[in-house]
Amino acid sequence: MEETQSCFCLEEMEKIGREKMDKSVAKYIYGGADQHQAVSRNREAIKEILLAPKVCAGISKRDLSTTILGQKVDMPIGFSPTMCRAWITDEGEIYAAIAAGEANIPFGFSSFTETSIEDVGESMADFENPLKIMQMSIYPEKEMTMEIIKRIKKAGFQAIAVTVDHPVHGRRDFDGGDDEEPEIWQETGLPNFPKKLLYLHEKEKNNKDPDEIETTHETWQQITDLKEWSGLKVVVKGIARPEDAEAAIKAGADAIWVSNHGGRQLGDGPATIDCLRKIAPVVKKAGVDLYIDGGFRTGSDVLKALALGANAVFIGRPVLSAIAYNGYEGVKEMLGILRKELDISMALCGCSKLSDIDQSILWE
């Protein structure tokens, strides 16, 4: 087996990982809506924020641990729920799950993934209560939703992330019908969808991509219902406005997740870090957790989000890049890089623990 040279940063890892991917798969993973402008905007907005070094702060050791959804984790970084991990390699989803379990960080699992809920649950069974978050929708019939709830509870998931920023499918040049659409669409199923919904979709024969399957258009009442039906923590993912964060909290959300779907829905939407600035005061006042994703590639990036009020940062594409780069070992290496970068950045900004982090470390 060819030996893989270690990477200095996630940008380097992505470059190598992309080169190893099938061209159509890479186009699907790294692309965005419209002219891909929201993907680049996420990164650019984070880069515009600078950190303010603090000296003579007596910082000898750093503690990166925190509490997410009431559960202690070893650092404020988690895996966003994304499909495609098993597109890269059959065991991609399992590699990510095990790496998250070993690192004791939150693991986000997508309902659109190609690996079953049960297989992921089994792969993480040896870890002591790892935090597993299932992304799902509220389906057209209660029985459909309950079918999935029963499965995720049996597999040991503690929380559900409801994606609310996908009422319609964003316009993407890598979707639907062209010659470069990944062939793997036809080779993988959707083992985590309600059986009846899949049957109805098959009956329609609309030749839609899997992530174009209609679920329902979520309402705030449905968030309340899901919390009641499941008895699990409910995270509302895809929030960009303060008033929507307030409505989600009123509906019973245990956490707010600022996200623009990786820039894959609305090309002219704002960067998530800019949304965070406006949403954080509302969420902090309510006393619920606040998460963010979208363009985070370094430990310094993570520190900036924490300073603006996030409790945790979730990453999607970097996990896929790491799997393509070097499988399970690649995911472990990627997490090691982020942990080291965050640790160093905290030290240079005079922070020994996460509770020391606030906006005073930002260069305004």
Binding site as annotated, residues for glyoxylate: 28, 172, 261, 264
Spell out where 157-281 has E strands.
159-163, 233-239, 255-258
* 103: nearest Cα among 122, 81, 123, 78: 78
Burial of 70 from C-beta contacts in 10 A (0-12 / 13-18 / 19+): exposed
Q: Which helix (H) or strand (E) holds 72?
A: strand 71-73
Binding site as annotated, residues for FMN: 110, 135, 163, 237, 259, 293-297, 316-317
On whether the CB atoms of residues 271 and 39 are closer than 8 A, the answer is: no
Distance CA 113, CA 193 (A): 10
Out of 36, 201, 217, 261, pick the active-site residue: 261
Burial of 190 from C-beta contacts in 10 A (0-12 / 13-18 / 19+): middle
Distance CA 119, CA 96 (A): 12
Backbone angles phi, psi at 125, to 5 degrees: -65, -25
Q: Which residues contact 280 (CB under 8 A, 6 or more apart)?
A: 290, 308, 309, 310
Q: Which residues contact 237 (CB under 8 A, 6 or more apart)?
A: 135, 161, 162, 163, 164, 165, 257, 259, 291
Q: Is 261 a catalytic residue?
A: yes
Binding site as annotated, residues: 28, 110, 135, 163, 172, 237, 259, 261, 264, 293-297, 316-317
CA distances from 322 to 29, 334, 337 (A): 13, 6, 11
* β pairing state of 66-68 and 71-73: antiparallel
First to last CA, the chain: 49
Q: Which is it for the CA torsion 33, 36, 41, 43, positive or negative?
A: positive
Q: Which residues contact 44 (CB under 8 A, 6 or more apart)?
A: 271
Q: Which of the residues are catalytic?
A: 261
